[in-house]
Every structure is written in structure tokens, then in C-alpha cells.
Structure 1
Amino acid sequence: MLIELQLGGNILGGSIPSSLGQLVKLGTTLNLSSNGLVGDIPSQFGNLVELQNLDLSFNNLTGGLATLRSLRFLQALNVSYNQFSGPVPDNLVKFLSSTTNSFDGNPGLCISCSTSDSSCMGANVLKPCGGSKKRAVHGRFKIVLIVLGSLFVGAVLVLILWCILLKSRDQKKNSEEAVSHMFEGSSSKLNEVIEATECFDDKYIIGKGGHGTVYKATLRSGDVYAIKKLVISAHKGSYKSMVGELKTLGKIKHRNLIKLKESWLRNDNGFILYDFMEKGSLHDVLHVVQPAPALDWCVRYDIALGTAHGLAYLHDDCRPAIIHRDIKPSNILLDKDMVPHISDFGIAKLLEQPSTAPQTTGVVGTIGYMAPGMAETKHIRNCLFFLASMYTLIGNLGF
């Protein structure tokens, strides 16, 4: 009866004969090392249940070690320097501590025992089974978490910014609506004006100013008005400018100043309703209307005097003072009795009067009616009125 078989170092080559599995009484040793063997361990090796020592080292064997799971009496094992792969069977883990080099040179082998098992403490030559896969999965999971977290944070920031923008827009809209309602006229009157001007057709235009266009509107009642249409979005800050004009005009009550009747704010447009001045502007009377109406010196004097009263009211009686800055014949309107009314406060500025030194302001106005080199408001006012008065009396200043 064969109990030991020593074939090591013979360079036999080929694969392990499956017939060796029939040596069921082989009890002590089977040595097949250094033979250049290839292939898997035959499944018949599982029949060598009484084998105590097995040496398969220094070959090119492949596959797993699962066939050796039934070798319960093994006391020594050496499978180093082959191409084995997969997990080490539980009954072979003990050799990791007893003979630590038993599994050297097999990078594909791994262990799946608990790290608390003392037999695994010498397993530093083998990697945990599934470790690389777990690490890869864990790495991918971390990447996914980072990406999702970044997307979430980005979405939250976008949502916050959107909410801020909406709130800001709503506050602006509410502020504009609040100002609008302070000056809002009746919607029915505005509808009548729109109907009378055929939706502000150009044929009803009677004048154009720096902030808008003026239309003539004859309502069904027979009342005639001048309606000024302002484009709020035409210029940056024009909404505030328009609101300033509304506030200014709404407070003014003087026989020589144009009187605001009603006003409306609608989306990108503002509308201001005035009494219609039958004679048009002083410029029209002097140069446009044919035949020209008779203007004796008394009428011219009354126009100049009325204009002076209107300016004096704006400059001296209003608090804060209102500076027109663009007094010219086309901004002096005449009613049927030739009484002058100063118009066009679209460029008016509300100036807070300081308690000490006189305030100066930038020069604004129509070229030809501004005094070159003048900067102080009082000088501008005096010079402008002088020029307008001379225009009234003479008819043309030659500019």
C-alpha cells in the first residue's frame, strides 16, 4: 500500500493526472513541486482524505483550491508560486499562521475569514476577498454622493437666488403700484381718452417733449384735453422721473401753471391728463399759426408777466423749490384768453433747499435758451426768464 509519493523536481510538465486521486490510502506525503505542471487541481484529489502533507509549489497550476476542502487531516501545505486564484478554503486558513509562505506567489488568492480570527493574523500576504470590488464600489459611491451633493447645493443656491429675485421684483412692483394708486385716475376716463385718440394714433399728436408725446383728446362729452403719454421703460430711471413729475404737478395750483387733471400708470406707460390750451404754445402763436393772431404790446406784456408769476411761484413759494430749467416759448401754453400756463415739468427737479450756503446744480435745458457759463440756479432762472421775455416781446432772438 502506497502511503508516500515524492515526485518533486522532475520537470514532468503537463497537468496533474486525475488517476492520482485513486490513491485513497496515500496517508503521509504527496510532493509534486517544481515540475512545471499546468492546469487545475483534479477534482479527484478530494478522495485523498487521509493525506497529511501536500506540496504543489513552484508550478504553473491555475484555478481554485476548493478541491482541497475535503482534506481534513492535512498538517502541512505548500501551494506557493503558482497561479491559483479565488478564496482559500476555511480548513486551509490555519496554514496562514503556521507556515506563512505556503501561499506566496499567488496574487489571485484571497481570504474571507473574520479579522478577529487569530489564524488570519498572518494573512498579510493575501488580500481580503472582494476587497478591491468593495473599494471600487465604495469609491464610486463616494463619487456619486459628491456629485449629488454638489447638484443639491447648486439647486438650493439657484432656488435661493430665484426667490430673492422674485421678492425684489415683487417689492418693486408693489412699490410702483403703491405710487401708481396715489395718483391713479378713473379707468373709465382713460378708456375714453384711448377711444378719443384711436389708441394714440399719430394724427392726434400736438407736441413732443423730452419724456413723451402729447395728444389731443376730444371726449364724448365734448370736453377737450391734452394727454401726455410717457414711456417708462424708454430710459433708465425714467419711472422715478415720471413719478417725481406726477408728485410735482399734483401739488401745483396756480393760474399760470399747467394743472394736472388725472394720471395713470399702465405697465410700461404713464399717462397725464391736462386741460387743453386752445391757443397752443407761444412759439406757435409767434411763428406757426397763419394768419398770426394780433399780439399788441399789452398782450405780450401780460404773457411775460404771467410767466413771471408762474416762475416766482415755483421758485419762491414751493417747498422744496421747483426749478423748471427749460423755460422756452414752446413750454409756455396759452388758453383762449391768451393767459400763459407754464408746462412740461418732465425735466423738473425737486431741490431740497440747504440751510446754509446757496445750492448749485448742473445746467439742464434747451440749447439757445441756456445762459453760457452760468451755474448757480438763481442766475439761470433770471437769465432764462429774461430770454423768454425778450422772445415774447420781440418774436425772435436770432439763435
Structure 2
Amino acid sequence: MQYLTELVLHNNQFTGSITTSITSAIYLVMLDLSYNEIGSFIPDSIGRLSFLAHLSFSNNKLQGTIPQSIGNLTSLAAVLDLSNNSLTGDIPSSFRNLEHLQKLDLSGNRLSGSLPDIWEKFQFLKAMDLSSNQYNGSIPTSFQSLLNIQYLDLSHNFLNGTLPIELSKLVKLSVVDFSYNNFTGFLPDWLGDISSLSYLDGSHNGFVGSLPLSLQNLSYLNVFDVSYNNLSGYLIDIPIFRQFVESGYLDNEQGLCGPIFNTTCSSADTTDTESETYKFLKSAAEKSQYLPLFTLAIFGVGVVLLLVLCLFFQKCQPKLFRELLEFCDLEVSSMIKCCGRKKRFSYSDLCSATEHFCNRNIIGVGHQCKVFVGELGNDEKHAIKVFNANAFKEIKLHFLEDCNVLAEIQHENVMQLQDWCYKRNFLALVHKYMPNGDLYDALYDIEVVNFLTWDERLGIALDVANGLAYLHRFSKERRRVCCQLCPGNILLDEYCRAKIAGLRVLRESDTTLLMEDVLKKRQHNKKQDIVQSPKDFVNYIAPGE
């Protein structure tokens, strides 16, 4: 049992306690005992499982406090789920060490006290559910560091105070639930800045005042519930407010008034809440019938100016004009995605780093590319993959779109895309340089055959498994990715930690082609009676939904 890496026993009827013998399996990567009848306490020895990436004890009958030793599980990069038990106490301060965690679920317990201010380094956290507990106090300011969080549920607690402005930095939030707490103050204007919000529940609190007009910026908002608060005053008639009035999430029993409710406001309400700004916006809304004509006129002027500029560039700057046309061959959607992205390295930076792509800086050659090494930024070594002319024709159409997807992949065991460069007949990807090369050389090169110890080899295997688990989740939540999973695409950093490389975005037509390619290779090998060499690979395709 010592070398067991995965133990999944969920959805059974196990009783008793969590045996400490489990913690002797020190190489466990996944431990899932959820949906059983297990009672007693979480053993303190759980902290010995230093390779653990996924831990779930949810939906059991566990009691007592959460042990501080869980903070020793610094490899937890996927899930920590202790939900729906009878745990008490507070969140241990040692949780600050779980900075690679992507999902934290402590909901449905009896946890109490204030939320600890320990979230400064949780840059990978995407989902946090602390609902249905007994937390009190205010939202900690370190929540502002949860820059990748998409799901936040703090409902059914005793939290109080106002919604801090620091939350405005969480621009990737999609689902937020503050309901059934004791929050007070006005609903803040900055809610309208979180453009990805699709679900916002602030019901059953003590919010006052009217609703911020900035909410009309939330084009993806489907659910907006602020019922059972102390809202009051004039509510302007704009589409988003009318939508939620008709859905029952807003009603004039809260003290809101205005034409949207087919009621008139008292003089006090009008004086207090229908300020000059509201009057101006109300007037503008009534005059919105002229907006299409105004927009059409602006569009016409813009088209004329664009034609004039094109003629000017074609005549005076023919070289620049040709480059612009080539760049426009890319998908418009991909161009739009990249417009707001600040480039780290320019084409001239790459030229300088590689001495104009001198052959002596080549560290790898493939059938589609050459890989150069060069110093960029703060004199840090980077690997620069430059695609050849044949590859350029194949990938340029989706290049920017794919780069945007790959740039979102952030995991310690997957090579992260640092930057990319597109220029006329030039495509390049920039990654960090891996000083220990690839796994193939580390295993089979005669000069370094004794390079890896057995402990390091085991660690590399676990790193690869951890990286694949992350790619499974990424493909389910975002876009499916694939790679040639072979020793040559497993790179080793200065600490011999493995990183999966060679990723690309999978398209609908690719799945069938890749599987046919694998089957053809197998049939060919059977006919020829050849043993595959270690460099042969199996294509990895992330599973679909």
C-alpha cells in the first residue's frame, strides 16, 4: 500500500473512522472518501501525504476541527472538499500554504469565527464555497488577491459590514452568492465593472438605497436577486431592471418606486434618490428612440474615414499596407481577444536575444519548428519556438485564438506560455527555458544515464500525472487540448520537476484524425513486427464532457 497513488471509495456505506494507516501511503495523489457514513475526526497524520493533489471527505459525518496539518499538503493543486459534515472551529491559518489550490469547498459545516486574512497567494483558486456555516465578521481584504476566482459562495452565514471595494478586482467572477447574511450599506457601483457576472444573489441582507445604474453593463447577468433587503427610492426604467422586476427578483414592497412598477414616488423619495444624475439618465432613456439614427450616422462617417486611410496607406506606405492585409488574414475574433493584451516581448527583442536567430543558439529542431535559447526580460533564459514556412500555412489561421487559450493554462506541471509573436511570415512562442532538458535524454542519453535517482523518477511520474489531471479539468471547463505525450515532451526544470510541453488546442476534426493515426501506426507495427522505440508516442487527447 505504500506506493498506492489513487484511492477512490466514494458513494459507498463505509462507517467508522478514517484509519491512520491510510497515511502510510505517502505517494497518494488522490484520496476520495466522499458520500459515505464515516464519522469521528480527521486524523492529524493526514499532513504526511505530501504528494496529495485531490482530497475529498465531503458528505460524511466527520466531527471536530480541521487539523492544522492539512496546511502541509502543499501539493494540493486540484480540490480540497470537506463539505457537508459536522466540522467545527475555524479555518486553520496553515491554509495559507495551499496556494496552488483550484477548488475549496467547506460548505455545510458548523465552522465559525471570522474569515482569516490568508488569501494573498491563492492565484490559482477558481471556486470557493464557504456557505452554510456560522462565520461572522467582514470579508477579508486579502480576497482581492483571488484574481482567477470564478465562483464565490458565502451565503447562509453571519457575515456583516459592507461589500469591500477590493472585490472589484475579481474581474473573472461569474457566480457570486452573498445571500442570507447581515451585509449593510449600498450596493456598490463597482459591481457593474465585473463584466463576466452571470449570477448575483444578495437577497436576505440589510442593503439600503436604490440600485446602481452600472448594473446595466452586465450583459451576461441572468440571475440578480436582491429581495428581502431595505432598498428604497426611485428606480429608473432600463431593460435590465425591468427584466428582474418581471422575474420577481425585485418588487416595490421593498420601497422601490418609479414607472417600472407603474407607481409614482413620494416627494421624499424623489428628493432623496432621483438626483440630477437620475433625472438626466431618465431623460436620456426617454430619448433613446433617436439612438439608432445617431449610431448609423457615426458608423457611416467611420466607414468613409477607414476607406480614406486605406487609400492613403496603399499609395504612400505600400509595404505597411501589405503587412496589414496579411495580418487581417487572422480570425477577427482572435484579433479582438489580443487587442487588450500587453505584449511582453517584441520581434526585435527575440532577434536580439537569439543574435538574429543564429544557429549556435538552436537547442532543438522539429519538423515544424526550431527552438532557440535567449535571454529576455530580466536576463532570464527563455526558449523561443520559431515555426517554419510549412507550419506557418497550417497554423496561422487560428494562431492568436489558440495562444489565448494556451496562455490560460497555469499549473506547475504544465509548461506555461509566456508570450507569442506574430509578424509577416513569422510565428513564435516563448516559454521559460528548462535547464535539465527533456525526460528522453535524462533516461536514454548515455552521457546522463545516471542523472536521475529513483526518487526523482517517481517524482517525475507523479508530476506528469498531476499535470494530466489538470489538463483534464481545463479541457472540461475551457477548451480541449492535446499533445504528443512522450519523454521528449516532458521537460525538467532546475529542480527536476516535470512539465508537460507540446500542447495545442484540439479542434473537432482533430479527434478522428489523431485516433486514425494511432490505429494506423499500430497496424503498421504489427505487420512489420517492429518494437517501437522509446521516442514513439501516444497522442494524448483530453476527454470530452
TM-score, length-normalised on structure 2?
0.33
Could you say which structure has the greater relative contact order, defined with CA pairs below 8 angstroms and 6 or more residues apart?
1
Larger radius of gyration: 1
TM-score, length-normalised on structure 1?
0.43
